Amino acid sequence: MAQIMSGAKMVVQALIDQGVDTVFGYPGGAVLPIYDEIFQQNNIKHFLVRHEQGAVHAAEGYARSTGKPGVVLVTSGPGATNAVTGLTDALMDSIPIIVMTGQVPTFMIGSDAFQEADTVGITRPCTKHNWLVKDTEELAETLHTAFHVAKTGRPGPVLVDIPKDVQFADGTYKGPAKVKSHYQPKVKGDIKVITQLVEAIENAKKPVFYTGGGVINSGPAASQLLRELVAGTNFPITSTLMGLGSYPAKGDNWLGMLGMHGLYQANMAMHDCDLMINIGARFDDRITGRLDAFSPGSIKAHVDIDPSSINKVIHVDIPIVGDVGHVLEDLLNIWKSRGRKTQTKSLIDWWDQIDSWRQIRCLDYKVDTKTIKPQYALERLEALTKDHDRFITTEVGQHQMWAAQYLGFNDPNRWMTSGGLGTMGYGFPASIGVQVAHPESLVINVAGEASWLMNMQEMGTAMQYGLPVKQFILNNERLGMVRQWQELLHGERYSQSWSESLPDFVKLAEAFGAKGILCTDPADLDDAIIEMLKYSGPVIFDCAVEKHENCFPMIPSGKAHNEMLLGDASTDGAIDAAGSVLV
């Protein structure tokens, strides 16, 4: 039965039919008809953010912590342009997001109308796909296709631009079942190539699994299969920033994160391995370091759902295009049917080697009894929260790397951080999105004071909806990572990298009606964290930390994995002239 309804009503109906119950957004002139429909129903809960960037990051947090797509509704012009950073962030980290933007009426498009922007033009390079809907008859189909594209294959953000007259006009609604898309990326890997990988696994003497966000995007089953494979083969495993939690940090085979601020044993294993099995990661420059010295002696296998990821920066010997879950299932079946073979004797030597690297204890730092070391703060946060039902988000910078190093993630979808784009201001709104999805869980945003201030307006959102997000700010009154690079690379000329005129975070919290906690003494830290955890509402925790602490280990730009700087190592001349042009 054909259903005739207005475009605005279609938007709400399409969301309901797609199983959406949560929308993050901000109204404006060009989306008023949709907001009017939202007002008249109870199926979808709308969360009013304080800035459109916050809406997209909140949707990202929601998506990453649930595995469901996040939905955003904003107005035309500035509403759309404010969403651009979030869209780019979601594109880089492959997060499924559906952003609906209002647009000026079709007959005014191109006239420089009030709050008009070429939204599809602006967002074309920062979405997986986008649509301008010019006819209400096409609206429902476009929305359902948008959900399909966002979720299918390598996930990503999509945008549907809906002119105001299309929202007002009547059209025929189509349900999701009636919409067929030609977009059907292949999920099954080539069995012949998977068998080749099994052979490599059977013969490898120094193998390592290098896993990424693709394992998490593939769903919880993929993480389970990965754990089974690691347990079965007894191979060591490391992960990118994006993939933390797919294999448990408390697992025996866990080496810790790899990359620029990865653990010594993880990077050394990558450098010295003879078989590298990349599962759902993309050889990002934060991972590889110097390309011509990247893991020189290894055979490289790469499982990725996106064919363009394969051989993009690193030539691989065993390329497998497919969904991680499907490929791992086939891989396990073939490996088992061939007798579950590995080079067990060689693996013992390999593990001995890895254990000797572990003895370096690369995360050790000088403890201070007077000043809170940021590492200490995170160690205590870990100790006091690890048994909670806990989700962590972060901003971007030193605190983000320390969080990745010192916090343990034992399950997927528990760790939300801006990896590819490195968006300062991501963590706070993301924590709001996570808390919306998991109202009873403990949600902590590990932040730096500078990043946090970039989207601090979202305190209003947290208060309005009673979202008890904990903002754990490691406050060094510096742009810590910028400062670290200036120290190592720019002759200690700290150009614009300090945080002048910081607010009193306790008073700031109180001004919003939240709780503020200031902690300056390591001796008080545990009690202060416990106080934060006990409080039922949002907390801004101002943790005054050592101002000049550097984040180690570090692979300086232009260096190889085995040229890591450790905490006590001299940093003089760490980055040469060629490396200094890299970021």
Q: Which residues are catalytic?
A: 52, 114-115, 164, 481
One-letter amino acid of 42:
N
Q: How far is CA 4 from CA 1, 8, 9, 157, 173, in A?
A: 10, 12, 10, 29, 6
Closest contact distance (angstroms) between CB of 69 and another protein is 16
Nearer to another protein, 319 or 419 (CB): 319
Q: Which tokens sit at 520?
A: 């300056």
What are the φ/ψ torsions at residue 365 (nearest 5 degrees)? -145, 165
| CA 391 to centroid of chain Cα atoms | 12
Nearer to another protein, 320 or 488 (CB): 320
Please check whether residue 19 is in contact with residue 179, taking contact to mean a CB–CB distance below 8 angstroms: no
CA distance 84 to 66: 23
Q: Which residues bind another protein (CB under 8 A)?
A: 120-121, 124-125, 128-129, 132, 149, 182-183, 196, 199-200, 203-205, 274-275, 288, 291-300, 306-308, 310-312, 314-318, 343
Closest contact distance (angstroms) between CB of 93 and another protein is 16
Closest contact distance (angstroms) between CB of 457 and another protein is 31
Closest contact distance (angstroms) between CB of 583 and another protein is 17
Query: For the chain, what's the residue count?
Result: 583
Please check whether residue 519 is in contact with residue 542, taking contact to mean a CB–CB distance below 8 angstroms: yes
CA distance 344 to 323: 29
| CA 398 to centroid of chain Cα atoms | 16
| CA 321 to centroid of chain Cα atoms | 22
Nearer to another protein, 67 or 307 (CB): 307
Region at 283 (left for phi over 0; alpha for psi -120 to 50; beta for the rest): left
CA distance 306 to 313: 14
One-letter amino acid of 431:
S
What are the φ/ψ torsions at residue 37 (nearest 5 degrees)? -70, -35
Nearer to another protein, 511 or 582 (CB): 582
Closest contact distance (angstroms) between CB of 314 and another protein is 5
Closest contact distance (angstroms) between CB of 205 and another protein is 6
Closest contact distance (angstroms) between CB of 292 and another protein is 5
Closest contact distance (angstroms) between CB of 171 and another protein is 19
Nearer to another protein, 327 or 474 (CB): 327
CA distance 206 to 478: 41
Q: Which tokens sit at 18?
A: 């797609």
Closest contact distance (angstroms) between CB of 271 and another protein is 10
Q: How far is CA 459 from CA 353, 428, 514, 540, in A?
A: 49, 9, 8, 9
Nearer to another protein, 307 or 408 (CB): 307
What are the φ/ψ torsions at residue 299 (nearest 5 degrees)? -85, 135
Q: Which residues have C-beta within 8 Å of that of residue 216, sequence separation ≥ 6?
A: 64, 222, 223, 242, 243, 245, 246, 280, 412, 413
Query: Strand runs (DSSP E) across 240-332, as ranges?
Result: 254-257, 275-279, 299-304, 318-321
DSSP 455-496: TGGGHHHHHHTT---EEEEEE-SB-HHHHHHHHHHSTT--TT
Closest contact distance (angstroms) between CB of 541 and another protein is 41
Nearer to another protein, 275 or 403 (CB): 275
Is the CA virtual torsion 558, 563, 568, 572 positive or negative? Answer: negative
CA distance 416 to 434: 9
CA distance 228 to 225: 5
Closest contact distance (angstroms) between CB of 108 and another protein is 17
- Please state whether beta strands 129-132 and 207-211 pair in parallel, antiparallel, or not at all (unpaired): unpaired
CA distance 400 to 423: 11
